[in-house]
Amino acid sequence: MSTNRASRTSVPPDPSTGPWAFLAQRWELATLAVLAIAPLVIPALGGALGGQVTNLFIYCILALALNVMVGYTGLVHLGIASFFGIGAYVLAILTVPMYPFQIGFLAAAVIAVLVTAGTGLALGAPTLRLRGDYLAIVTLGFGEVVKVTLRNLEQITGGMKGLNPVPPPGAGVTVAGIDLGKEFAIDPRWFYYLALLSLAGVVLAMRRLENSRLGRALVAVREDELAAQAMGISATKVKLAAFAMSSAVAGLAGCLYAASLSTTADPNAYDFNRSIMVLCAVILGGLGSIPGTLLGVAILVGFDTVLAPWADSWIQQMNVNPKGLSYLSFSGWRLAIFGVALVLVMRYRPEGLIPSRRLASELRDGGAGS
């Protein structure tokens, strides 16, 4: 798993495998190990908390998908939630008992990922020549179009009711006397592990992407599109690849989301808010940085879906707020805290909490130069 390409020859050490990078990688492995053991030690993860953390992992996958576009390639994408939604709905259509397909989770997930990648290509192909803000507006519009389409194709998507029940992964599959479908339905830890495994796979893929030919081309196009073209790189193809990869990974996150909720929820679950939330997480953590993105999600989404409800219930338990006044509940302040935190981070650490090596140097350099 480790990408330890030791310098065998006279080649100076590759920066991606230098001591710092190695530490970073071990840090990732250590986190993975802790997260893998956690459910065995903390019983709470077998309950509602397990579901919340699973949700967090899914958000992490979605944020890494967005990072390919915004972080590596520098294309502002405001509609990532639509690909998340397409993934969820395709999986649901292929598995719900209401429709005749009812194929297994794995096959359905593969098809869903391919469909989202294809949709990404279809959106990207005509719009790639747009730059900066214009592309942002197109993706924003696409997000809304998808949401409204999902709502209006009532016969296919179930309209505001969504599609349900999405059977759990492994429904009907029995391995060594264990009915996987049942296990998934009963114990949230199964989903926890499935999401963790997927997240680890995506992180590994992103690591490899970063140090590959395509990854360099993505960054080159972000840095200077014309110069990249003058090096023989087809900016169009590179951006299309970014679109496809980003959409595919977002689709994977959507599959996990629908399966873990056992419903697609209503189309509003895939609206602009979710796109922006994920974008904020990526920017907060550090554009183009894998650990940064993960941390950004952990902070923003963790705050929103784990900490805020917990704080609310604590306040209620303490009986501080018997009248239910909104300014005495934590949720009432949730968005304010959120906004202030974002402002502070952008003021004091514009490159993000864990900046990518590349972008950090750029921003500090720019700051020193001006």
Partner 1 sequence: MNNNAGPAGTPLLHVDRVTVRFGGLVAVSELDLDVPEGSIVSLIGPNGAGKTTAFNCVSGIYAPSSGSVRFRGKRLERSFTPGTILRALAVGLLTGLLFAAAAVDVDRLWMAVVKRGMITGEPFTMSGAMERLRGYFRSELAIDQMAGKWRVVSADGSDVLAIKRDLGEARLVRDALQAKVTARRTGPGTVPDATDLNQREAAAAPLVALPVVKEEVLDRLAAGKSRIRWRGWLGLIAGLLLGSAGTLAVWQRGRRSPHVVARAGISRTFQNIRLFSSMSALENVLVGLDRTIPGGVFSMLLRTPANRRAEAEARQKAIAALDFVGLSGDANRIAGQLPYGDQRRLEIARALATGAKLILLDEPAAGMNPNEAADLAGLVERIRDRGVTVLLIEHHMNVVMRISDRIAVLDHGTKIAEGTPAEVRRDEKVIEAYLGGEG
Q: Which residues bind partner 1 (CB under 8 A)?
A: 3, 5, 9-15, 18, 98-100, 122, 125-126, 129, 152-156, 205, 208-209, 211-214, 216-217, 219-220, 223-224, 226-236, 241, 245, 358-359, 361-362, 365
Instruction: Please give the torsion angle defined by the CA atoms of residues 351, 206, 264 and 144, in that order, rounded to the nearest 10 degrees.
Output: 50
Helix (H) or strand (E) holding 299: helix 290-301
| CB closer to partner 1 out of 219 and 283 | 219
d(CA 106, CA 116): 15
Residues in Cβ contact with 83 at an 8 Å cutoff, skipping those fewer than 6 apart: 65, 116, 119, 120, 246, 247, 250, 251, 254
Measured from the CB of residue 57, what is the shortest distance to partner 1 in angstroms? 20
Residue closer to partner 1 (CB basis): 46 or 118: 118
Q: Residue 204 burial (CB < 10 Å; 0-12/13-18/19+)?
A: middle
Burial class (CB in 10 A: 0-12, 13-18, 19+), 155: exposed
Residues in the chain: 370
Tokens representing 57?
């992992």
Nearer to partner 1, 52 or 356 (CB): 356
**Which residue number, 5 or 26, has a Cβ lying nearer to partner 1?**
5
Nearer residue to partner 1 within complex by CB, 126 or 177 = 126
In the complex, what is the shortest distance from the CB of residue 137 to partner 1, in angstroms, rounded to a whole number? 20
For the CB of residue 238, give the shortest distance to partner 1 in the complex, in Å: 9
CB nearer partner 1, residue 53 or residue 209: 209
Task: Give the amino acid at 164.
Answer: N
Q: Least Å distance between CB 79 and partner 1?
A: 18
The span from the CA of 219 to the CA of 327, in Å, is 45
Which of 2, 331 has the CB closer to partner 1? 2
Cβ closest to partner 1, residue 11 vs residue 336: 11
337 with 198: CB under 8 angstroms? no
CB of 254 to partner 1, least distance (A): 20
Give least dist CB 283 to partner 1, A.
Answer: 17
The secondary structure of 154-175 as a DSSP string is: HHHH-GGG---PPPPTTTT-EE
Task: Please report how close the Cβ of residue 352 comes to partner 1 at its closest, in angstroms.
Answer: 14
Phi, psi of 101 (to 5 degrees): -70, -60
Question: At closest approach, how far in Å is the CB of 255 from partner 1?
Answer: 18
Cα separation, 279 vs 271, in Å, equals 13
Question: Torsion over CA of 248, 253, 255 and 258, rounded to 10 degrees?
Answer: -150
